Amino acid sequence: MPSDSAKTTFIPSEFLTKAGVGRKIVELEPKETFFCQGNPADAIFYLQSGRAKLTVVSQNGREATISLLSVGDFAGEESLAAVPGLRLSTASAVNTCIALKITREEMSRTMNLEPIFADFFLKFMLTRSMRTQADLVDQLFNSSEKRLARILVLMAEFGKPGGREICIPPISQETLAEMIGTTRSRVSFFMNRFRRLGFIDYDDRIKVNKSLLNVVLLDQFPGHNSKRPETPTLENILKPIIPVR
């Protein structure tokens, strides 16, 4: 028999890319849903490719987009609550998505047996909590124009290796307006302004230039302080800029 020291090391990335007991790979076309608000929370999803979004609907039927998901994100973590409940939001594909669906039981079992995976998931949850807090502060203190700039920078994922311009997934001005708490006409006005200033370009796809980081990190429009921003990191991008009073 192999000794305990010969036991295979658990690798979270391998667990999250392969089907197995309590896990299956699912593929969704644009606008298809992973789960819907009010459904039983019985599984968690790990996004392997594509982009998705989380939306909520109020009692009077008003819908709002609360978050965009990218590769490496989990969705449906409310299924891990001590007492199983209902989905708090709807997760749907923005473009073609591939995800690993993990049952509540398998996710709980793996976290109990594999401390490495539990640590991996805890770090994700802490990062998401920081992002949620930053989003709230952004809504409270920043202008709708800067909120739009921050959303575009986050979608472009400038904290990761890439070129000077990055195409973001297709997204409507209505969805952007929902996310920053303003009207579609205001989003259209800001998008046109960003394009004139060279921050973005768009025909069939929106291209975000890294110069937009000046707006998010330094509140710098042309004519302001010409200081160049520091090398961007995802942590810096997530932090909203709070105006000094």
Rounded alpha-carbon distances, angstroms, from residue 71 to 65, 74, 109, 164, 180: 18, 9, 24, 21, 22
Helix axis angle for 144-156 and 184-196, nearest 10°, is: 70
Structural domains present in the chain: 9-114 (2.60.120.10), 142-238 (1.10.10.10)
pLDDT computed for residue 164 by the predictor: 54
Q: Is 27 helix (H, G, I), strand (E, B) or coil?
A: strand
Please write the tens of the pLDDT for every residue from 88-106.
999 999 889 999 999 999 9
Instruction: Please list, in sequence order, all residues whose beta carbon lies within 8 angstroms of the beta carbon of residue 119, skipping any fewer than 6 positions away.
Output: none
Q: How confident is the model at residue 190 (pLDDT cuts 50, 70, 90)?
A: very high
Radius of gyration of the chain (CA): 20
Do 181 and 144 contact (CB within 8 A), yes or no?
Answer: yes
pLDDT computed for residue 161 by the predictor: 53
Rounded Cα distance, 91 and 178, in Å:
16
Please write the tens of the pLDDT for every residue from 141-189.
888 999 999 889 888 876 565 545 588 888 889 889 988 889 999 999 9
pLDDT, mean of residues 44-67: 91
More confident residue, 235 or 136: 136
More confident residue, 121 or 216: 121
pLDDT, mean of residues 70-93: 92
Instruction: Please list, in sequence order, all residues whose beta carbon lies within 8 angstroms of the beta carbon of residue 81, skipping any fewer than 6 positions away.
Output: 41
pLDDT computed for residue 231 by the predictor: 43
pLDDT computed for residue 166 by the predictor: 83
Q: Is the pLDDT of residue 225 over 50?
A: no
pLDDT, mean of residues 212-227: 62
Give me the percent of the chain exceeding a pLDDT of 70.
82
pLDDT computed for residue 55 by the predictor: 92
